[in-house]
Amino acid sequence: MENERRIGRREFLERSAAAGVILAVGSSPLLAAGMSSSAGPQRSGGALNGMLYQPPRVSPDGLLLRARQATAEIAPGVHSPIMTWGDGPVGPTIEARTGQRVTIRLENDLGEPTIAHWHGLRPPEAMDGHPRFAVDSGRSYDYDFEVGERAGTYWYHSHAHMRTAPQVYYGLAGLFIVRDDVEGGLGLPSGERELSLVLQDKLQDASGGLAYGVRGHQMMEGFLGDTAFVNGVRYPRVEVDSALYRIRVLAASNARIYRLALSNGAPLVLIGSDGGLLEQPVELPYVDLGTGERADLLVDFSAVPAGTTVRLKSLAFASPARGMGMMGRGMGMIGQQGLPQGAELDILEFVVTRKVREEVRVPRGLAPIERLRRSGADRERVFRFDSMMMNHTINNRAFEMSRVDERVPFGSTEIWRFVNESPFPHPVHMHAAHFQVLSRTGGRGRVLPWEQGWKDTVLVYPGEQVEVISKFNAYRGIFLLHCHNLEHEDMGMMMNFAIE
């Protein structure tokens, strides 16, 4: 039951050595970033936690991303092999304005093929980071396109076929933030009052290094770690003032679904989803995010006394996976190492350190959204997501690089129905177009409050059917529809469609 794609730390190191890559021991991005605990690491849950790593903010204009293997301090005093395309344990945060030109060179020094995809952006075909454009180590890929999207929290990650899961796990992911004038006029918290969090869950080996391996049941369910990592650092903490913060959250785990909430019971104010701002803020006790999804949140610490720690956590929920009795437990003995899906998980500590007097203002209206109407659709297609035996398929087929399964006329509006009769949840992601969620039947039975606005990824639980509507009017070309559970994706739950 061993997966040939399983990669342990030892194998990782061997591959690195075989590829002639020198692990940059001592060049700790966290230390370089001033991580080394001037405030003193704190002990929590038996493990030391350090300060949140805040990636450098960079312009996409002439940016060089060099993918390579390195070593990073992933927790105070704990060094691990990582993959990086800057220096840090997650990529630099790219910040652009709508309409801005992007000129990025990806250099691959990783020792294996890779390619970068701009998740949520809709660039031309050759700029989209489809796995057929993956470059071998020693080569580079040049991107040149214009940001066409409204203000929002997008991201970028490796999309090398059959290597996406380990490459994203080891660090080849980062945020791509887009700003525009509509957002600029809202007076949202910015500068120090804006934080971005890339959430992942990971496992550490005996020496503390990151461990990745998919065995037994996780070949079906996807990789589940046992500890939260934020921006590449284990369960960190961040000091905040008693003020209103804008907090962008990206769920970048391989398979874990988060139910985000605050430990003090304060609500989360959702202002944006995958494709930017909603029309109005929504106050919610929690927000669910599947892998690939984003939430743009306002969090109010103004009533929290200085000296208080508030945890961002994932609340416990019933695992949507089915049939765990037979398979899960039996195979769990050899396969299950991480926390089960739906287990409670502490993610990060906000430490309120400074009392400030600031007027807290949540705008009442945000940004207009053009509604796509069911009556405006030209046709409907059905996609069945199946996980049987060790196969993950869409409409009974596993991914093939050059096979095109659907042809969509350029400029058309279509309803796509995602059907999940498999035992596992599938976060379904579409390239090249954004969608609006029209309906959900079965399972949770409704469109959830955090699924408003423009989306590019939607969670489909076992027994659910989710209808989304999109307009395919960005570019012609071959693009992907896939499950964003990274193990499912690597094992073939992905298909090409052509816009023509």
Closer to ligand C2O by Cβ: residue 345 or 493: 493
Question: Residues 422-441 vs Cu ion: string with x where CB under 5 A?
Answer: ----x----x----------
Which part of the chain contacts ligand C2O (CB under 6 A), choosing from 75-83, 104-112, 176-184, 480-488?
480-488
First to last CA, the chain: 42
The reply to whether 152 sits near ligand C2O by the rule CB under 6 A is no
What is the three-class DSSP state of 128?
coil
Q: Which does 292 bind (CB under 5 to 8 A by kind): Cu ion, ligand C2O, none?
A: ligand C2O
304 token code pair: 């929290």
CB-side neighbour CA atoms (13 Å) of 333: 3
Q: Which residue type occupies 45? A: G
Q: Which of 219, 480, 495, 499 binds ligand C2O (CB under 6 A)?
A: 480
Query: To the nearest whole angstrom, how small is the minimum distance from the Cβ of residue 472 to ligand C2O?
Result: 16
Beta-bridged to residue 470, according to DSSP, are: 414, 435
The reply to whether 291 sits near Cu ion by the rule CB under 5 A is no
Which part of the chain contacts ligand C2O (CB under 6 A), choosing from 141-149, 213-221, 358-366, 476-484?
476-484
Query: To the nearest whole angstrom, how small is the minimum distance from the Cβ of residue 47 to Cu ion?
Result: 30
Q: Which does 488 bind (CB under 5 to 8 A by kind): ligand C2O, Cu ion, none?
A: Cu ion
The reply to whether 488 sits near Cu ion by the rule CB under 5 A is yes
Q: Which does 485 bind (CB under 5 to 8 A by kind): Cu ion, ligand C2O, none?
A: Cu ion
Measured over the CA atoms of residue 7, residue 12, residue 18 and residue 20, the dihedral's sign is positive
Q: Which of 119, 217, 237, 440 binds ligand C2O (CB under 6 A)?
A: 119
Q: Within 10 Å of residue 373's Cβ, how many Cβ atoms?
A: 11
The reply to whether 429 sits near ligand C2O by the rule CB under 6 A is yes
95 token code pair: 């910040």
Which part of the chain contacts ligand C2O (CB under 6 A), choosing from 191-199, 344-352, 354-362, 479-487?
479-487
59 token code pair: 């312009």
DSSP string, 144-207: EEE--SPSEEEEEEE--TTTHHHHHHTT-EEEEEEE-HHHHTTT---GGGEEEEEEEEEEE-TT
The reply to whether 131 sits near ligand C2O by the rule CB under 6 A is no
Using the structure block, give the residue that is written with the tokens 């992907």.
480
The reply to whether 159 sits near ligand C2O by the rule CB under 6 A is yes
Question: Interface residues for ligand C2O in 256-295 (CB under 6 A)?
Answer: 292
For residues 435 and 377, what is the distance between their CA atoms, to the nearest angstrom?
12
CA geometry: angle 176, 177, 178, nearest 5 deg: 120
User: What is the arrangement of strands in the sheet containing 426-430, beginning at the earlier edge strand?
Assistant: 404-408, 494-499, 477-483, 426-430, 457-460
The reply to whether 483 sits near Cu ion by the rule CB under 5 A is yes
**DSSP tag of 371:** P
118 token code pair: 């701009």
Query: To the nearest whole angstrom, how small is the minimum distance from the Cβ of residue 123 to Cu ion?
Result: 11
Query: To the nearest whole angstrom, how small is the minimum distance from the Cβ of residue 392 to Cu ion?
Result: 6
| Enclosing H/E stretch for 310 | strand 309-314
For residues 261 and 242, what is the distance between their CA atoms, to the nearest angstrom?
18
236 token code pair: 């960190």
Question: Interface residues for Cu ion in 109-138 (CB under 5 A)?
Answer: 119
The reply to whether 163 sits near ligand C2O by the rule CB under 6 A is no
Which part of the chain contacts ligand C2O (CB under 6 A), choosing from 86-94, 331-339, 356-364, 477-485?
477-485
CB-side neighbour CA atoms (13 Å) of 119: 29
Question: Interface residues for ligand C2O in 431-460 (CB under 6 A)?
Answer: 431
Q: Within 10 Å of residue 364's Cβ, how many Cβ atoms?
A: 7
| Enclosing H/E stretch for 437 | strand 435-441
Query: To the nearest whole angstrom, how small is the minimum distance from the Cβ of residue 429 to ligand C2O?
Result: 5
The count of residues interacting with ligand C2O (CB under 6 A) is 10
Closer to ligand C2O by Cβ: residue 119 or 440: 119
Q: Which of 157, 237, 313, 488 binds ligand C2O (CB under 6 A)?
A: 157
Q: Which of 9, 79, 117, 392 binds ligand C2O (CB under 6 A)?
A: 117
Question: Interface residues for ligand C2O in 290-349 (CB under 6 A)?
Answer: 292
Q: Which does 483 bind (CB under 5 to 8 A by kind): ligand C2O, Cu ion, none?
A: Cu ion
Name which of 221, 465, 174 is nearest 343 in CA terms. 221
The count of residues interacting with Cu ion (CB under 5 A) is 6
The footprint of ligand C2O (CB under 6 A) covers 117, 119, 157, 159, 292, 429, 431, 480, 482, 484
The footprint of Cu ion (CB under 5 A) covers 119, 426, 431, 483, 485, 488
